Amino acid sequence: MTRPHASQPAFERHFVQMMEDYGSIHAINLLGTKENETLLGNSYAKHLSMARSALGDNLSLTNFDFHHAVRIGGHESVIRNLP
């Protein structure tokens, strides 16, 4: 994902295959807000946004900072805080 123009076609092929197998795809980003996690999450979101242009609205993404939710309220709170 460090070279978006090179990795985008493979990313889209992967999601085409997943959509053929499962239908609509809703990805959940569980990465936190640390520097490297943010960079990876942003790259993934950009790839997914570009893929949506090609593949349509049956592909979506929700960002959920799992580590933050657990730190605040423990593992039990995660279910209550899901978007």
Cβ pair 15, 56 in contact under 8 A: no
For residue 29, give the nearest of 18, 9, 44, 15 by alpha carbon.
Answer: 44
Residue 49 reports pLDDT greater than 80: yes
Check residue 75 and give its pLDDT: 78
| Mean pLDDT to the nearest integer, 49-76 | 85
Residue 72 reports pLDDT greater than 80: no
User: What is the reported pTM?
Assistant: 0.75
Residue 9 reports pLDDT greater than 60: yes
